[in-house]
Structure 1
Amino acid sequence: MKVEAKLNPSKEEIIDLFSKGLSKEAIVTIFAHCKVSYNGRAKSELGPGDRVIIIKPDGSFLIHQKEKREPVNWQPPGSSPSLSAGEDKLILKSVRRKPKETLEVELIDVYLFSYFQAEDYETLALMGSEAEMADLIFENPELIEDGFKPLFKEKSIKHGIVDILGKDKNGNIVVLEFKRRRADLHAVSQLKRYVETIKEEYKNVRGILVAPSLTSGAKRLLEKEGLEFKKLTPPKKEKSKKGRQRTLFD
């Protein structure tokens, strides 16, 4: 099984699931009322409370409270988790060798104990910025349309900075405004302002909003103002692939 979980598990079930989770290089997740102590480069104590404990196959050990993004206590990859059972206590421990650090969790009451044998070997693909979208168009202007010629990047005008100012195949001035996420009404208003400013100097001016998608309100406003939309996904930047991540058992 890829997933196994127990609600309100007994001490024996906790020991069994912990052993299975580690042997299967799974992610172990525990919802528990617990106390936490840390001893290493400093010392800390965290009194009893309901927390989420996550132990990953690479040795990462995370303790989350019900608020905030960051764990309240944690150990990095390479740490060694263990579980010991006394007559009236269950103690989770994570030990880091260099520098010497120990994180100890007393499990007072366990509400849920589970493991998930996850398979995930993909690398994160980061979406590019609006500046990288503009660079992409300078290198590949045909992505906007055939005959498009970019002339200026980040062109300063009276009411702001135009991402790209160029010309189409008919000689019309083209204003491009880039958004790396779904474009909204504000983006259309921004493009409209730039187009109106450029029209003070040039007669025939087109405005094109370049983004992965539009809100319905933005689409209606574009049509009303006689502006255009070009769908373009920001370029991806992949982290270098180093193969499967090492685990405690490699």
Structure 2
Amino acid sequence: MLNYECVNNPSNKEALKLLEDGLNKKSLLILVVKCTVEYNGRARSKLASGDRVIILKKDGSFMIHQEYNLEPVNWQAPNTKNVLKVVNDSIELIGVHNKPYEELIVRFEEFYTVSYYSCEDICDLEIRGYEKHMVDLAYEKPDLIEHGFRPTKREYQTDNGFIDLMGVDKEDHLMILEFKSRQAGMSAVKQLKRYVDCFLDNKDFVRGIIVAPAITVDALEELESLQMEFKSMEPPKEFLKSNKPSTLDAFF
């Protein structure tokens, strides 16, 4: 049975207690609030006052959604340390992520709904479906990526998640590859950038590459501005039995 707490229009005192309980229990928190947002890290950004949905997951993931678009307007990766702070009777939620250092600060102005859920979900998703087959194919036939590519590791774990495929090019530059079975978008670029940032201490140039059948115009522009690359590759045909995506991840 799902254990949860949900309060509509709570006072600051009630909201603080719910937030503390949810974080201490490592629960899934879902908030509907009016807030401002500040980000400090590889860049700096500020989001003025507005109504948002905030989601915090038990692995530390931290997402801020506006009323439009699929992607969050701000987010922090798993292993983020989320803490609460009271400043002049106002509540702040601060998410700090290291390697690279990033800080996301939410300053609450009004609480509409505060809720947390002690979820149980022991099911594992089959690893990324068609994308896994693309990785396997690139590992077995590296020239599909480029001549001289030598793959070294699959599903390499970093603080920011698992890298699909790593390897080196003919000049021994490290290559980090992010695979998408459908058109890649901005979220794929952001994720690849986070992977590349894990190797900032590498003395040699690190190549970040998105491998997908296609990429959106804005994502390609952002990718090139970050000195990263796109390689076109279709999923193996024997696995494409349906054009209908079965998971939300297929859209990212």
TM-score w.r.t. the length of structure 1 is 0.50
1:96-107 correspondence to structure 2 within 5 Å: 96-107=97-108
**Could you tell me how far apart the structure 1 residues matched to 2:129 and 2:122 are?**
22
Letter in 1 for 2:25: K
Q: How many residues align?
A: 138
Deviations 1:40-78 (A, max 9, x none): 110000011110000111110000011111100001001
Partner residue, 2:63: 62
Partner residue, 1:53: 54
Distance change >3 Å, CA 126–CA 103, structure 1 → 2: closer
Partner residue, 2:12: 11
- Shift of residue 85 of structure 1? 1.5
The answer on whether the counterparts of 2:16 and 2:91 sit within 8 Å (CA) in structure 1 is no
Does the residue aligned with 2:22 lie in a helix, a strand or coil?
helix
Indicate the percent of aligned positions where both proteins have the same amino acid: 41
The answer on whether the counterparts of 2:8 and 2:112 sit within 8 Å (CA) in structure 1 is yes
**Could you tell me how far apart the structure 1 residues matched to 2:109 and 2:128 are?**
43
- Shift of residue 124 of structure 1? 1.1
Does the residue aligned with 1:14 lie in a helix, a strand or coil?
helix
Runs of 5+ consecutive residues of structure 1 not aligned to the other structure: 133-162, 165-177, 183-235, 237-250
Letter in 2 for 1:180: S
**Could you tell me how far apart the structure 2 residues matched to 1:54 and 1:106 are?**
15
Partner residue, 1:87: 88
Partner residue, 1:157: none
- Shift of residue 126 of structure 1? 6.9
Partner residue, 2:35: 34
1:78-227 correspondence to structure 2 within 5 Å: 78-125=79-126, 180=242
Partner residue, 1:77: 78
Partner residue, 1:218: none
The answer on whether the counterparts of 1:128 and 1:180 sit within 8 Å (CA) in structure 2 is no
Q: CA RMSD in A?
A: 2.6
Distance change >3 Å, CA 179–CA 104, structure 1 → 2: same
**Could you tell me how far apart the structure 1 residues matched to 2:42 and 2:128 are?**
37
The answer on whether the counterparts of 2:36 and 2:48 sit within 8 Å (CA) in structure 1 is yes
TM-score w.r.t. the length of structure 2 is 0.50
**Could you tell me how far apart the structure 2 residues matched to 1:23 and 1:3 are?**
14
The answer on whether the counterparts of 1:37 and 1:44 sit within 8 Å (CA) in structure 2 is yes
Q: State the structure with more CA Rg.
A: 1
**Could you tell me how far apart the structure 2 residues matched to 1:52 and 1:11 are?**
17
Distance change >3 Å, CA 84–CA 181, structure 1 → 2: same
Deviations 1:194-218 (A, max 9, x none): xxxxxxxxxxxxxxxxxxxxxxxxx
- Shift of residue 89 of structure 1? 1.4
Runs of 5+ consecutive residues of structure 2 not aligned to the other structure: 134-236, 247-252
In the TM superposition, structure 1's runs of 4+ consecutive aligned residues that sit over 3 Å from their partners are: 125-129
